[in-house]
Amino acid sequence: MIWVTSMTNKVQEEFGPIYDYINFMNRADLTNSPFVTRERIDRNFKKYGEALNTLLVYPDILADILTPRNSSFSLFFEQRMVLRSMVRTRQGFFTFTRSFSTSFLAFLSRYLVCMFIPNHKTFVTAGTKQQAAMIAREKVVDDLWVRFPFLANEMRKFRTAGKLKNPWTDSGDSVQFNFPNGSKFDVVGGTIRGGRRTSGIFEEVIGQDQDYINEVVIPLLNTIRTNRRGQINPYEPQGVKIFITTAGYQNTYAYDKLVETLCYSLIDPKNYIVMGGSYKILLMHGRLLEETMREILSSPS
């Protein structure tokens, strides 16, 4: 059973496809199999597609649905806005204090996109490949799969070219997650040759090398994802870049990228966005002690 809080008539009208999806999944399927049958999906294929499209642009609602009944986890308002922006825009720059969980939101957004969109290739890059692998391992295996156990079900062995393929690999300095629909989420670092990706997370961009990012990593995104018929979805953001950092300094590559994204957002606000927040957000939501912040602000060091 999928659990969700009661919806008002206004919410039901606005998120009708999601409401239909919840009813669809909650209705008992009188078969011997505990899974949703192919025949049942075929009968509801159009509504099923509408629900998936809606959940893709409202990933926070999907997170609500996936949260176990006995869990106290819940996204607060600002996190929901950041998560939605990450899946809807072509380039976003997000500057938030620690404990806002910006990295968690970025990984959740890419993981869900890989689930919903076939053959989507995404990556995470950080100061070093080992650091990026550590972050990926921590955010996906130790966080996403713990908070949302259903997401781990995507990592099951599947056949490709007649061979059984492992869903995810971990070689210490490299982590790769393979999805049954052909999507891939991996780590980028060091020498890269001939790779192509459709989106990427630039973790703690304040500490990354400008030449490496501009000349090696960003060119990976110079490609277009097409569907199985070779067609381009005009509503799908292509070459998505998610820049994440805590506070930094002017006259840095990260600052230049922030200004660039801000200028783009004025010209094309549907595809570019800049968001940021201070410690006050964390205080408001009980994620940070007021005494701790008072000590930091008053410290002479």
Q: Which of 241, 114, 235, 244 is nearest to 181 (CA)?
A: 114
Question: What is the predicted pLDDT for the residue at 286?
Answer: 87
Residues comprising the chain, all counted: 301
171 backbone dihedrals φ, ψ, rounded to 5°? -110, 25
Give tens-digit pLDDT for 219-258: 999 999 988 888 998 999 999 999 999 988 899 999 999 9
CB neighbours of 59 closer than 8 A, spacing ≥ 6?
83, 84, 87, 108, 109, 112
Q: Which of 144, 142, 80 is nearest to 112 (CA)?
A: 144
- Residue 301: pLDDT band (50, 70, 90) is confident
List 170's β-bridge partners, or say none: 175
Question: What is the predicted pLDDT for the residue at 161?
Answer: 67
Question: What is the predicted pLDDT for the residue at 48?
Answer: 82
Q: For the chain, what percent of residues have pLDDT higher than 70?
A: 87
Structure tokens at 136: 């990926």
CB neighbours of 98 closer than 8 A, spacing ≥ 6?
246
Q: Which of 215, 221, 123 is nearest to 174 (CA)?
A: 123
Q: Which of 180, 142, 182, 177 is nearest to 158 (CA)?
A: 180
Ordered structural domains, the chain, with CATH: 1-57 (no CATH), 75-298 (3.40.50.300)
Q: Which of 101, 100, 84 is nearest to 278 (CA)?
A: 100
- Other C-beta atoms lying within 10 Å of the C-beta of residue 147: 16
42-59 burial code (b ≥16 CB/10 A, e <16): eebeeebebbbebbbebb
Better pLDDT: 63 or 25 = 63
Give tens-digit pLDDT for 161-216: 667 767 888 887 888 999 988 899 999 887 776 688 999 999 999 888 899 999 99
Q: For the chain, what percent of residues have pLDDT higher than 90?
A: 50
Question: What is the predicted pLDDT for the residue at 184?
Answer: 92
| For range 69-76, the mean pLDDT | 91
pTM (2 d.p.)? 0.84
In single-letter form, the type of residue at position 256 comes to: D
Give tens-digit pLDDT for 81-124: 999 999 999 999 999 998 899 999 999 999 999 999 999 999 99
SS3 content of the chain, % helix, strand, coil (to 5): 45, 15, 40
Give tens-digit pLDDT for 262-298: 999 999 999 999 999 999 999 998 888 888 888 988 9
**Mutual angle of helices 77-88 and 59-66, in 10-degree steps:** 120
